Structure 1
Amino acid sequence: MNKAQKLIAAASVVLAPLGTAAFADNTDTVQVFYDLLSNPGSESHVTAFMGVTAENWESVGDYSGKNKSREGLVGQLGFFDQLIPDLEWSVEAMHEAGEFVTVRSRATGTPVGPLFGVDGQGRDFEILTIDIHELADGKIVRTHHVEDWAGALQQLSGK
């Protein structure tokens, strides 16, 4: 082995741990989001959510075209806590690529009143959801999301 090869080999041994440190595991941070979705009335989960999201965090996915703030989401979830007390948001898969974490999850629940105008009369629903979380400096800055609420309403209407 010549001098150049030895130098490259030594450098790779020394620098290898630095390369892996550049790719932080953001899945634990993102899991806090789903813990809140399953416990929307819990102050400790709200506090944890506020801790892992940036102050200017945005929820992108409302068909009105208006993004929701952290406070707006927490307010909406407070309503969901009353309407769907057994709401459960189960993560089925997470995939991290750089500063993005994509999540496939399933939401289930039994509304105790009309959901989006549909009285489920005690029926429950199970829907698929897809979210893409963008992170910067270890905090979630934006979440793009799609939920199958039309499927939930179909299940609740008994059709």
Structure 2
Amino acid sequence: MTNLKTLAAGAVLAIATSASAVMAGNKETVQVFYDLLSNPASEAHAQALTGVLAQDWASIGDYSGKTKSMEAFLGQMGGFGKLIPDLNWKVEAMHEAGNFVTVRSRATGTPVAPMFGVDGQGRGFDILTIDIHEVKDGKIVETYHVEDWAGALQQLSGQ
């Protein structure tokens, strides 16, 4: 009976350890996304991101029905790298529930040219962002995101 209890306890521990490793893996996978956001001009970070995004990954930022593909997203990030060379996307909290990782982060930067038509004249921005990543089989398959770009433009315009 003692051997059976020991065996059962070992099995429970192994399952719990395995589940924790998967969760840590999902968070580590999602962190690669933010590593690129903070290094948008980095080819190495872009390549690392392509390794953790599903081939048909979709970026969903509103309810228009339009999504952004991996290629379009990487192109946008390359543009951000030129426009906002000091872009920093700091993860402030990361929560995991099943296949979903929710991230609260803070994006800061100082555009070197007009951004969305607003010339910040050297001013920077500091905004809140919320993202929900769905991870399956070690790959991010969808990312829902909200950024306070209106707040960024208000800060850049000096209001």
So what's the TM-score if we normalise by structure 2? 0.91
2:117 aligned counterpart, secondary structure: coil
Q: Say which SS state the counterpart of residue 145 (structure 1) adopts.
A: strand
Report the CA distance between 1:10 and its aligned residue.
3.8
Q: 2:15 aligns with which of 15, 18, 23?
A: 18
Report the Cα offset of residue 21 of structure 1: 1.0
Q: Does 1:150 pair with 2:150?
A: yes
| Partner SS state of residue 58, structure 2 | strand
Tell me how far 1:98 sits from its aligned partner: 1.2
CA distance in 1 between counterparts of 2:16 and 2:157 reads 53
Q: In the alignment, which residue of structure 2 is the partner of 1:137?
A: 137
Q: 2:43 — aligned with what?
A: 43
Q: Runs (4+) of structure 1 moved beyond 4 Å?
A: none
Q: Cα 1:90–1:157, aligned 2, differ >3 Å: closer, same or farther?
A: same
Q: Which has the larger radius of gyration?
A: 1
The alpha-carbon distance between structure 1 residues 78 and 64, as it changes in their structure 2 partners (threshold 3 A), is farther
C-alpha distance in 2 between matches for 1:73 and 1:22: 31
- The separation in 2 between residues aligned to 1:113 and 1:62, in whole angstroms, is 26
5+ long unaligned stretches in structure 2: none
1:11 Cα shift? 4.5
Question: Unpaired runs of 5+ in structure 1?
Answer: none
- Matched residues in 1 for 2:148 and 2:84: separation? 16
TM-score, scaled relative to structure 1: 0.91
CA-atom RMSD, angstroms?
A: 1.5
Per the alignment, in what secondary structure is the counterpart of residue 22 of structure 1? Answer: helix
% identical equivalent positions? 66
SS of aligned partner of 2:127: strand
